[in-house]
Amino acid sequence: MNKAIELNGVSWKAGRSFALKDVSLSVPAGSIYGFLGPNGAGKTTTIRLFMGMMKPDSGHIRVLGRDVPRDMKSILTRVGYVPERPHVYPALTVAEQVRYHSSFYKNWDEGWCNELLGSLRLDPERKISRMSKGETGKLLLLLALSQRPELLVLDEPTDGLDPVVRRDVLTAVLDYVSEVSATVFISSHLVHELERFCDWVAVMDDGQLLVELPMQQFKNGIKRLHIADAPESADEAPFTILDRHRANGIGSLETWIVRGWEPPMQYYFDSVGATVRNVMDLDLEEGFVELLRSSRPSHKNGG
């Protein structure tokens, strides 16, 4: 499988306050890859590292088959990037910003740019300083898409936008992907938004990559189990237990949140004299929250 982005054992430290710790991730070419995590988890830092804005302390990075940072000049001609913070000039009009930006990209598609101006309802003569956050977000996306990128990197592209603008932004992204089969790497803490269209998902917290796998595998593998006569120890369980607690104090019933569940694993409970009363699906947001809770020291230590 071809990879659009590869990080192998990447670490980076900012004084005593924050560090990325041995991060390895692999983004399949042609995928829509959701990069989830709470604010401060390290999502933007990871993006800045593979976009060549910062140098890792250790590890190796490749983007579109080329080495970072050595080959960044050629990489950037093939990547559209919408950063967390706008990188446009407030004194310019939309049309002036478009002309300035287009001068850096030989694959700039003027016709596509004009289509996007209409579909995103952007006024070419409007000064950027007078635009709302939502309008600015749409302009940033237009600039990235008009480059006709092979890889589109979006860092919190809909954060703080109203539902109508979020829909416009995501529709434009999905339309582009369906047309050219580009890879999209989208970072967000808005879990429910990514659930609808991402086919891969990774979760970051406190500078560590907790999980990376196909979206359906993530959603299908995290379950809430109601267990009767649960064993004291579950060291031999064939799945990962994220949480377990007594279910509302009713009898001997326990609730387990598990990751990596598959129906044949029922045999484990039979072998320890327990009974699975219910197996319940969790949506992406519930699974995301349980994964974060289980990874944090206070939870592991009973806090």
Domains of the chain by residue range: 3-206, 220-300
- Say which CATH class 220-300 falls into: alpha beta
Of 104-118, 240-254, 271-285, minimum mean pLDDT range = 240-254
Give the tens place of pLDDT for each residue, 2-57.
Answer: 999 999 999 999 888 899 999 999 999 999 999 999 888 999 999 999 999 999 99
- Contact (CB, 8 A) for 282 and 242: no
Q: Name the residue type at position 177.
A: V
Closest C-alpha to 287, from 197, 204, 224 = 224
Angle (nearest 5°) at CA 229 between 239 and 255:
55
* Cross-strand pairs, 276: 227
Picking from 222, 212, 292, the residue whose alpha carbon sits closest to that of residue 33 is 212
Least Cα distance to 227 among 267, 188, 278 occurs for 278
Q: What percent of the chain has pLDDT over 90?
A: 59
Model confidence at 301, pLDDT cuts 50, 70, 90, reads: very low
pLDDT at position 287 over 90: no
Q: How far apart are CA 91 and CA 46, in angstroms?
A: 31
Distance in angstroms (rounded) separating the CA atoms of residues 89 and 59? 35
59-100: pLDDT as tens digits: 999 999 999 999 999 999 999 999 988 889 999 999 999 999
The pLDDT of residue 124 is above 90:
yes
Which class does domain 3-206 fall in? alpha beta
Predicted TM-score of the model (pTM): 0.87
- Amino acid 297: pLDDT: 66
Residue 245 has pLDDT above 90, yes or no: no
